Amino acid sequence: MIDLLPPERRYELTLRLRRAGLRATKPRLLILDALEAGGHHSVEDVLRELQRRGVRLPRATVYNVLHSLVATGLVMVADVGPGRMLLETARHWHHHFVCRECGAVIDVPCVVGSKPCLEPDLPGAEVDEAQVIWRGRCPRCVAASESRGDINAETAVTNARSTD
Ligand SMILES: [Zn+2]
Ligand SMILES: [Zn+2]
* CA 107 to ligand 2 center in whole angstroms: 5
CATH of domain 1-90: 1.10.10.10
Q: What is the pLDDT of residue 131?
A: 84
The rounded distance, in Å, linking the Cα atoms of 55 and 57 is: 6
Domain range list for the chain:
1-90
Give me the sign of the Cα torsion angle 84, 88, 94, 99. negative
* CA 84 to ligand 1 center in whole angstroms: 17
**31-90: pLDDT as tens digits:** 999 898 778 999 999 999 899 888 888 999 999 999 999 999 899 888 887 777 899 987
Q: What pTM, to 2 d.p., does this model score? A: 0.73
Q: Are the C-beta atoms of 114 and 71 separated by less than 8 Å?
A: no
Q: Which residues pair with 96 in a beta bridge?
A: 107, 133
**59-69: pLDDT as tens digits:** 999 999 999 99
For residue 102, the ligand closest to its alpha carbon is 1
How many residues comprise the chain? 164
For residue 138, the ligand closest to its alpha carbon is 1
pLDDT greater than 90 at residue 161: no
